[in-house]
Structure 1
C-alpha cells in the first residue's frame, strides 16, 4: 500500500504564484490544497485534519497576514509553517517554534527540499 502524500495548504494572494507553487509541489510529491487568503485558510484548517504544513505568503489581502495566520488557533500544533515574502523578512520570534522563513524569490527545488525536510519525506 503506497504511503499517503503529505498535504500542503498553500496560502497565496497572487493567483499565478499560487498556481505555480501548486504545480511545483504536486511535481515534488505533495498533495496540495489552495487558499487565496488567511480567512480561506482558517476555514480549510477548521474543516480538514489532514493538513501537514501551511506554506503562506506573509503579505496578503484579507483580515490578517501570514504571520498572524501562523499564530492563529485552532491550528493544530502538529501543523508546521513555512512563511515566505519578497518584501519583508520574518524573524524567528515572529513565527511559531519550528517554523521556517523562505525568502522570495526561491527556486522550486529549494521549496521542495524545505517542505520534504519539514514533513519527513525523502
Structure 2
C-alpha cells in the first residue's frame, strides 16, 4: 500500500499554516506550540529542534516522546473526515493535530482543547 503524502510532508512546512490559522482568531504561536507539545509529549525545545531539522510527519510522530493518553478524546470532523474513524494510526495522529489547531482557531478554551 502506498504511503499517504502527509507522511513525507515536513512539519516545518505546515507549521506556519497552523500559526497563521490560529492568529486569524487572535490566538498565538505559543498556544499552537502548547497544543503540539501536549499531544506529543515533547518540550518546546524538542519541538523547535524538530522544526529546524525539517523532519517529516512520520518521523515527528514516531519520535514523539510520549503521545498524550487522552488523544482518543479528540473527536470531530476536519476537511470532511471524522478523525477518530481514520484507521491508519499515523494519519489519525495527523488528523488529531489538525483538529486541535481547528479548535484553537475557533476560540475554544485551552483547557478544553487539551482535554483537561
Q: Same fold (TM over 0.5)?
A: no
Q: Return the structure number with greater relative CO, CA threshold 8 A, min gap 6.
A: 2
In the superposition, the TM-score normalised over structure 2's length comes to: 0.34
Structure (1 or 2) with the greater helix fraction: 2
Structure (1 or 2) with the greater strand fraction: 1
